[in-house]
Every structure is written in structure tokens, then in C-alpha cells.
Amino acid sequence: MMKACWLLAGWIFFTIGIVGIYLPVLPTTPFLILTSYCFSKGSNRLHRWILSLPAVGPVISDWEEHGTIRLRAKTFATTIIVAFLLYLYLLLDVSIAVKTIVSCMMYLSLIYIWTRPSKARSSNGHVEPSPHHLV
């Protein structure tokens, strides 16, 4: 019964993570990390599957193994968030309350992302943990 609950939670988080790809208000990576965790509790096969996905597997592995977020992923997330905020403020006709709430959520997401350790690419091409906390 517990494995079924873990699998259900994993699929829910996976779905939210996929929606987050298209809605910058929802962060994708945390939901995919939760997906991986739930799958690891419910099904080794599904856990291996999510880790094998080229687009998200390496990011999840970095987090599971080292608690790091690649600099490229941080930069990409920042670019998407800033672009969405510009769109929100310049092109959408919504209340200042909505703009403020969304901006705060995005700002907190950026703080979280940029306060996690990074992984930097070494001279031999391997990805290694950065010696600096805020790279």
C-alpha cells in the first residue's frame, strides 16, 4: 500500500513539474527532485527511468549525490524567471497585488537557487562540485 502511495505522489509531482516547464510560476526542478525521491521509495524501475531522462536525469543526480545545482541550470532558470517578470509587468494587465505575489515567489525561488552550491565543469570536461558556495 505504501509503495502505491509513493508512486501516486511521484506521478503527481512529475505532472506538476512538467506543467512548470511551461508556467514559470511553478519551479520544475524541485518537483522533479520530489518525483525522483517518491519513485525511489515506490519503484526502482521508475527511479532509474527518471534518472535516465537526458533533460532532467543529470540535474536530479547532481542534487541526489551532491546537493548541487549546475551553473547552467541556475542561469537558465534565472533567464526564464526574469523574462516572465518582464512579461508580467510590461504586457499583462493584472492587479499590483498579483504582480507583487508572483514577484515575491519568483524572488524567493531565485534566492533558493543561487544559495545552493554549484557544479562547475573542470578542465578535463568532468562536472565537479564548486569550491565556492555561491558560484
Residues 29-39: tens digit of each pLDDT: 788 889 999 99
Domain finish residue from 67, 89, 116? 67
Same domain, 41 and 83: no
Task: Kindly state whether residues 58 and 85 are assigned to the same domain.
Answer: no
Residues 128 and 107 in one domain: yes
pLDDT(15) > 90: yes
Residue where one domain finishes, among candidates 67, 94, 121? 67
Question: What is the residue-averaged pLDDT of the chain?
Answer: 85
* Same domain (yes/no): 26, 54: yes
Whether residues 35 and 13 fall in one domain: yes
Grid cell digits, residue 23 = 508556467
Could you say which of 44, 67, 90 is where a domain stops? 67
Neighbours of 128 (CB within 10 A): 12
pLDDT in tens, 60-107: 999 888 889 888 888 888 888 899 899 999 999 999 999 999 999 989
Q: Quote the pTM value.
A: 0.66
Q: Tell me, what amino acid is at 11?
A: W
Q: Three-class SS of residue 128?
A: strand
- 120 in Cβ contact with 130 (< 8 Å): yes
Cell of 111: 534566492
| pLDDT of 120 | 55
- For residue 20, the model assigns a pLDDT of 82
Nearest to 71 by CA among 116, 29, 30: 116
> 116 is in which domain, residue-wise?
69-135
